[in-house]
Amino acid sequence: MEFSKFFNSTIKLNFILIISFSISVNSFILLPNINNSFYVLFHLTFIYLIFYHYHYYLYLVAMVYGILFDILLLNYIGAHIITFLSLLMLYVLLRKYLFRLSSFQIIFIYFITLIILLLIEQFLANQIHNYKFNMSSFLNFFLISLIIFVPTLFLFTKLDK
């Protein structure tokens, strides 16, 4: 009982963030979709944290994970840190409008944000670090997002009770 009290939903979501980050930056040759799935899950969790558990510590979280993703996946700082911080700032600007939306509309925006985030990361990686825009990789992310979106949302709402 005490244990579950100590681990509130924000801490649990941060644990998911750490686990999904760790798995997404370690490639498994036989299970490449595992990497991609956890990469998408990380983004889903991060957006969920911003939408439902916004706190200014998330700026630090965005910076740390942004730098680590950039260093480990791209070898240069840029694409992820810019995307994460831009999302946070955009959320602060649009928060008052988001509060007026219905739950269905929020879920729709949640999914669209995820796809745009993944798209912008690829675009920035292409523009800043000269990585080729990989359409098949993006479609793979999109398909994984479609598959895991509803179960993840269900899990998160369960965590939030």
Binding site for other proteins (CB under 8 A): 18-19, 21-32, 34-36, 39, 56-57, 59-60, 62-63, 66-68, 70-78, 81-82, 85, 89, 125, 129-132, 134, 137
Could you list the beta-strand ranges (E) of 1-109.
none
Compare residues 1 and 29 and give the one whose CB is closer to other proteins. 29
Compare residues 47 and 125 and give the one whose CB is closer to other proteins. 125
In the 3-class helix/strand/coil scheme, how is 86-135 assigned residue by residue?
Answer: HHHHHHHHHHHHHCCCCHHHHHHHHHHHHHHHHHHHHHHHHHHHCCCCCH
Least distance between other proteins and beta carbon 57 (Å): 8
Least distance between other proteins and beta carbon 113 (Å): 19
Least distance between other proteins and beta carbon 111 (Å): 20
Compare residues 63 and 119 and give the one whose CB is closer to other proteins. 63
Q: What is the three-class DSSP state of 137?
A: helix
In 3D, which of 127, 50, 137, 131 has the Cα closest to residue 88?
A: 50
User: Whole-angstrom Cα distance, residue 84 to residue 76?
Assistant: 16
Least distance between other proteins and beta carbon 32 (Å): 5
Compare residues 57 and 108 and give the one whose CB is closer to other proteins. 57
In 3D, which of 140, 139, 114, 98 has the Cα closest to residue 48?
A: 114
